[in-house]
Structure 1
Amino acid sequence: MVFKFTIDDVVNKHIPPNRLDRLPNIIGRFLGAHKTTPKHDYLIWLEIFLGSFCGIALIEGVFKSNTAFTAHNAPLIIASYGASAILCFNASQAPLAQPRNVLIGHFISALIGICIQKLFSLSERGRDNYWASGALSVAVASVAMSILNCVHPPAGASALLPSADESIRAMSWWYLPAHLVSSVLIISVALITGNIIRKYPVYWWTPAPVGKAKVEPEPEPAPAPASAPVPSEEENKLSSSAKAESISSSEDVKEGITSVPGLKYIQISGTETLVPADYDLDELTTEWLNEMRNKLQSLIPKNDSPV
């Protein structure tokens, strides 16, 4: 689902453009700055197996060792990272599995979960109703992730655990740095294993344009012809209907995007999106084009809508 407002509407113009392609190849590759070629399924299965095993084992190894978390009742692993491993290593091309979604999604959800649990803990009646605390935490975290454009489904468990698990409640505020460490570790493993034969991440912040928009000079209007015959109303109607029939017979409309044969550019307006017929649209590009159209549509005054 494409929301009409996310935090990206405010911050994207302040985000610098991606410059990973300027890094040395060996560094840029493990940050996702490379192109991929199709691989056999058994190689991808092997990568998924190794990535999932190493990612979970690394987190467990850190929390099993004698660290600052040991004295604060840290579990062997926060359960929600089992689901994150499936996304990061199996569905690594999905928007929900990108580093921004993993890191910010888990942290925001954990923060909301521990804050609401602390509020319920202030009274005996609240402590008797942690079921409501857990439900409220997941609901608030879900909305917050949508607004911040960092939806990560496993983070729902991160919001729920402070209310549902007594050992997590014993961690208190140490639950938050535990999430930061876990997210960084699983992303680090995904950057290594996910860039051997595939590519991870697809993007670091957003697939949408970032930075300040460049203001291009307006082209000078072309001189009007000296004399041109003015078509009659009947000719205008005939030419419009013929043009509409010609376009409708050659265009292919899919998911709100119209593919036009012979078109050499992409045109986005508040009412339609036109792309070349031979342009292969993936899921991320389709979602971004529809988001741009919706944003432009929201700028059109209601009284300017066609009659």
Structure 2
Amino acid sequence: MVFKFTIDDVLNRYLPANRLNRLPYPISRFLGAHTPSPKHDYLIWIEILVSSFCGIALIEGIFKSQTVFTAHNAPLIIASYGATAILCFNASQAPLSQPRNILVGHFLSALIGLCIEKLFSLSQAGRDNYWASGALSVAVASVAMSIFNCVHPPAGASALLPSVDESIRSMSWWYLPVQLVSSVLIICVALIFGNILRKYPVYWWTPAPVGKPKPKEDLESLSEGEPHSEGGITVVPGIHTITITVDSVMVPEEIDLDEIDNNWLEGLQSRLRLLSSE
């Protein structure tokens, strides 16, 4: 499903271009600014095993210890991060697994879920119908993640938990910093282990072009059969190949691309840019 509007349409023009490749190599590598070589499956399986264990264990270790969260009934781990670990370490190349989706997706969903639960808690009738609060929280969070372009499926559980888990409700607003700390920890583990054999993240904010956009062509004035740009990708009538270079991505007009296809093509272009800058 391709949405005509996301928050990126407003924000991307104000963001600077990626400059991670200019950092010292040891730093830039563990921030995802490198081009990995192919590895055997069994090495990837070992990486997934170790990184998943370390990611979950680190979160549990932090919240098991005496911290500022202990007095606020913080759980050993928020259950939704088990699903995040699978995405983050097993499907690290997917758009749903990128740092923005994890951090913003979880926090936004948790905020929505907590706010809706607070509204229901204002009356006895609302407290008797937390089932409706949970359903509404997930529904609103799902739409909000689409608008903010940070869809992360495990974050649905983060929206649901304040309504269905009494221990989470007892945390009140402390639920939000716990979400932030958990997201940052699991992303840090992914940066360490995900850049030993593979590359993580594929992008930090978006694979789409950022910065002040170039003047757009008036598509209505184009004659039929003339190439035109759609979201950073050049659509060319009459060709039967897809061409990706450092400066452009050209696709046939007859191919109907969705958002995932666009992200994948632009992600490949970003890798070419990183390779050419090394």
Q: Provide the TM-score with structure 2 as the length reference.
A: 0.81
Within a 5 Å distance, the mapping from 1:23-172 to structure 2 comes to 23-172=23-172
Gaps of 5+ in 1: 217-242, 244-255, 275-280, 291-307
8 Å contact from structure 1 (residues 208, 288) kept in 2: no
Equivalent residue for 1:260? 240
Contact 1:273-1:289 at 8 Å conserved across structures: no
1:260 partner SS: coil
Count of residues in correspondence between the two structures: 243
Instruction: Output the CA distance in 1 between the equivalents of 2:152 and 2:195.
Output: 21
Does the alignment pair 1:201 with 2:197? Answer: no
**Which residue does 2:219 correspond to in 1?**
none
Q: Is 194-203 or 1-10 further displaced after alignment?
A: 1-10
Written as runs of structure 1 = structure 2, the 5 A alignment for 1:267-278 is: 267=250, 272=253
Q: Give CA deviations for 1:3-50 in whole Å, capped at 9, x if unaligned.
A: 110000000000100000101110000000000111000000000001
> Structure 2 CA distance, aligned partners of 1:287 and 1:259?
21
Q: Which amino acid in the other structure matches residue 74 of structure 1?
A: A
Question: Which structure: larger Rg?
Answer: 1
Over 3 Å counting, the alpha-carbon distance change for 1:85 and 1:258 in structure 2 is: farther
> How many Å apart are 1:272 and its aligned residue?
2.6
In 1, distance between residues paired with 2:237 and 2:105? 30
Match of 1:210 in 2: 210
Distance 1:123 1:62 in 2: 35
Structure 1 residue 2 displacement after superposition: 1.9
Structure 2 residues without counterparts, runs of 5 or longer = 217-224, 226-235, 267-278
**What residue is the counterpart of 1:295 in the other structure?**
none
Specify the code of the residue in structure 2 equivalent to 1:145: M
Contact 2:114 2:162 in 1 (8 A): yes
Q: Any runs of at least 4 consecutive aligned residues in structure 1 with deviations exceeding 4 A, and if so which?
A: 256-259, 261-268, 287-290
C-alpha contact 2:243 2:250 (8 A) present in aligned 1: no
Residue deviations 1:282-303 (CA, integer Å, cap 9, x gap): x95544679xxxxxxxxxxxxx
Q: How does 1:212-231 map to 2 (within 5 A)?
A: 212-214=212-214
Per-residue deviation, residues 62-103 of structure 1 (Å, max 9, x unmatched): 000000100000100000000000000000000000000000
Given that residues 105 and 152 in structure 2 are in contact (C-alpha distance below 8 angstroms), is that contact kept between their aligned partners in structure 1? yes
TM-align CA RMSD: 2.7
Which residue number in structure 1 is paired with residue 184 of structure 2? 184
Is the Cα–Cα contact under 8 Å of residues 13 and 210 in structure 2 kept in the other structure? Answer: yes
Distance 1:82 1:210 in 2: 32
Relative contact order (C-alpha < 8 Å, sep 6+): which is higher?
2
Q: 1:213 to 1:288 in 2, by over 3 A?
A: farther
Mapped partners of 2:50, 2:190: distance in 1: 10
Q: Does the residue aligned with 2:153 lie in a helix, a strand or coil? A: coil
Answer whether contact 1:207 1:284 (CA < 8 A) is retained: no
Find the aligned partners of 1:289 and 1:22 in 2 and give their Cα distance: 23
